[in-house]
């Protein structure tokens, strides 16, 4: 049976940052639905074309498209012992589909850490976020600056500011989170999986708190 974890939290809470660190330490695949969508956008695939207008507007990509895409990814052999999900599920229908898929394959969700950060802080995090073109590694000009300006420390590719990290789109994304994703908090609390993590601490402090919940195999 594999160990699956779902990182829950609003845009800018630090899900991607923490998932990168944990994935490396635990050698567990980091599955970010946002990164998969952005790869498809860059490669101008059919999926990318379908997702673009929703992403640009700060809306969610429809469930059917998203669920099929993530199921395909979770069906790859590297996920047979588990995965760390970041940005999925984001709606009750996605959460139901994930539970069903894991159950069918004899897996379960070990824990759902909810990274909590108030919205004023999210806005300052997202306005300073720089993302690497190649693999989506994440930096912040103040809180996690790259060694060389606008170059990824890990793969040397160029850093850019995401179109949807603009102020107006960020406000919309936070609203979408409150309306469509926040209901998952009670969904997972009822299943007994939810663990609240204070996301306002520095990056290392949040990692430490997550490692009290996530056990590397």
Is 189 annotated as catalytic?
no
**Contact call for residues 84 and 5 (beta carbons, < 8 A):** yes
Binding mask 121-160 toward ligand ADP (x if CB under 6 A, else -) reads ----x--xx--------xxx--xx----------------
Nearer to ligand ADP, 56 or 78 (CB): 56
Q: Does 15 participate in binding ligand ADP (rule CB under 6 A)?
A: yes
Is 212 annotated as catalytic?
no
Q: Please, what is the end-to-end C-alpha distance for the chain in angstroms?
A: 12
* 183-186, Cβ contacts within 8 angstroms, sequence gap of 24 or more: 183/92, 184/8, 184/89, 184/90, 184/91, 184/92, 184/95, 185/8, 185/114
> What tokens appear for 5 in the block?
């974890």
Select the residue whose beta carbon is closest to ligand ADP and give its number.
34
- Judged by DSSP in three states, 215 sits in coil
What residues are annotated to the active site? Answer: 15, 90, 129, 162, 173
Give the residues lining the site for ligand ADP (CB under 6 A): 9, 11-17, 33-34, 37, 54-55, 58-61, 66, 87-88, 90, 94, 125, 128-129, 138-140, 143-144, 164, 173, 201-203, 206
């Amino acid at each position: 049976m594999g160990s699956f974890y779902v990182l829950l939290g609003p845009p800018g809470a630090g899900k991607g940052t923490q998932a990168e660190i944990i994935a490396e330490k635990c050698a567990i695949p980091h599955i970010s639905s946002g990164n998969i969508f952005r790869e498809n956008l860059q490669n101008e695939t059919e999926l990318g074309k379908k997702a673009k207008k929703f992403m640009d507007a700060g809306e969610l990509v429809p469930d059917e498209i998203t669920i099929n895409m993530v199921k395909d990814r979770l069906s790859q052999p590297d996920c047979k012992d588990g995965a760390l999900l970041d940005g999925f599920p984001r709606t009750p229908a996605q959460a139901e589909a994930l539970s069903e898929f894991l159950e069918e394959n004899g897996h379960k969700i070990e824990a759902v850490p909810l990274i909590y950060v108030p919205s004023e802080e999210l806005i300052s995090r997202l306005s300073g976020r720089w993302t690497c073109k190649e693999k989506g590694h994440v930096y912040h000009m103040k809180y996690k600056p790259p060694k060389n300006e606008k170059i990824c420390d890990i793969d040397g590719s160029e850093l850019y500011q995401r179109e949807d990290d603009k102020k107006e789109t960020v406000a919309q994304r936070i609203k979408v989170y409150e309306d469509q994703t926040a209901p998952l908090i009670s969904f997972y609390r009822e299943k007994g999986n939810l663990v609240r993590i204070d996301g306002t601490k520095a990056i290392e402090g949040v990692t430490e708190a997550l490692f009290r919940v996530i056990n590397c195999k």
